Structure 1
Amino acid sequence: MFAPSQNDVRRFFCDTWRKQREGALLTPLEALAADWIAEHPEYHAELADVDAALAAVFEVEAGRTNPFLHLAMHLSISEQLGIDQPRGIKQAFDLLAARLGSAHQAQHEVMECLGEMMWTSQRSGLPPDGERYIDCVRRRATRG
């Protein structure tokens, strides 16, 4: 299993952003990441300086969003949707995106569910609960 370090993830996004700006050839994963980077121009300055990115600390208490975590979650969700894993996530996402009228906004809603699932798993020491995750997305898709 591939388990990149925090610095690996930060380098990946910074390198992808650099390659995108230079017009260099991107791998399929980099192309997907570049699409999400384009959707988040507020992160471009942070992605442009790899040394600063590696040294940056994003504390919740300081109110700073971690652009690398945010983009990594977009990638994770995109990959989940592409293979419908956990099974049913694509249908739940499609319902949510239709209700919101925005796939990007739907991804942000799904991030909340994904983050909750991972936090619960880490706190309990149990594996992530895919069914609970999908139920969370479905609830968001059907609330009025």
Structure 2
Amino acid sequence: MFTPSSDDVRLFFCEAFRKQRAGEILSPMDAIAADWIAEHPEYAEVLSDVDSALARDYSIEGGAGNPFLHLSMHLSITEQVAVDQPRGIRAACESLTQRRGAHEAHHQIMECLGEMIWNSQRAGLPPDGEAYVECVRKR
């Protein structure tokens, strides 16, 4: 299994942004990332400066949201929906999208995803996919 470092993730998003702006050919994953980056123009400055992106601390204490975590969650949710894993996430996302639009649906799902991960880590148990999908359904 591939486990990218935070630098790998930051470089990936910066490079996808650069390629998209330069009109270069994008890999399928680059294209998905570029679509989500386009939904977040407020990240353009961060993504334009690779050195700064690699050096910046996005700790909770710093108070700033982490654009790389945010974009990574969009990618994760996109992949989960594409393969319907955990089972039921596709239908739950589609239902939420009909009510709130795709971008807001993803932001709502992020809340559920973050909650599932936090609960898993706190309890020392595997992530509970059923609870995650149920959380999305309730939104």
TM-score per shorter chain, which class? Answer: over 0.9
Q: CA deviation at 1:55?
A: 0.7
Q: CA deviation at 1:63?
A: 2.8
Amino acid at match of 2:59: E
2:52 and 2:61 mapped to 1: Cα distance? 20
Does 2:83 align with 1:83?
yes
TM-score, L = length of structure 2: 0.97
Secondary structure, aligned partner of 1:3: coil
Does 2:48 align with 1:48?
yes
Deviations 1:27-59, CA, capped at 9 Å, x for gaps: 000000000000000000000011100111113
**Which residue is equivalent to 1:138?**
137
Report the count of equivalent residues: 139
1:48 and 1:20 mapped to 2: Cα distance? 12
**Which residue is equivalent to 1:13?**
13
TM-score, L = length of structure 1: 0.93
2:61 and 2:137 mapped to 1: Cα distance? 30
**Which residue is equivalent to 1:110?**
109
Deviations 1:104-137, CA, capped at 9 Å, x for gaps: 1000000000011111111211111000000100
1:62 and 1:54 mapped to 2: Cα distance? 15
Secondary structure, aligned partner of 1:94: helix
- Give the percent of matched residue pairs that are identical in Structure 1 and Structure 2: 63
1:59 and 1:8 mapped to 2: Cα distance? 17
Q: Which runs of 4+ in 1 moved over 4 A?
A: none
2:113 and 2:27 mapped to 1: Cα distance? 26
Q: CA deviation at 1:96?
A: 1.0
Amino acid at match of 1:128: P
Task: Please list every run of 5 or more consecutive structure 2 residues that lacks an aligned counterpart in the other structure.
Answer: none
Amino acid at match of 2:47: L
**Which residue is equivalent to 1:32?**
32
CA RMSD after TM alignment: 0.9
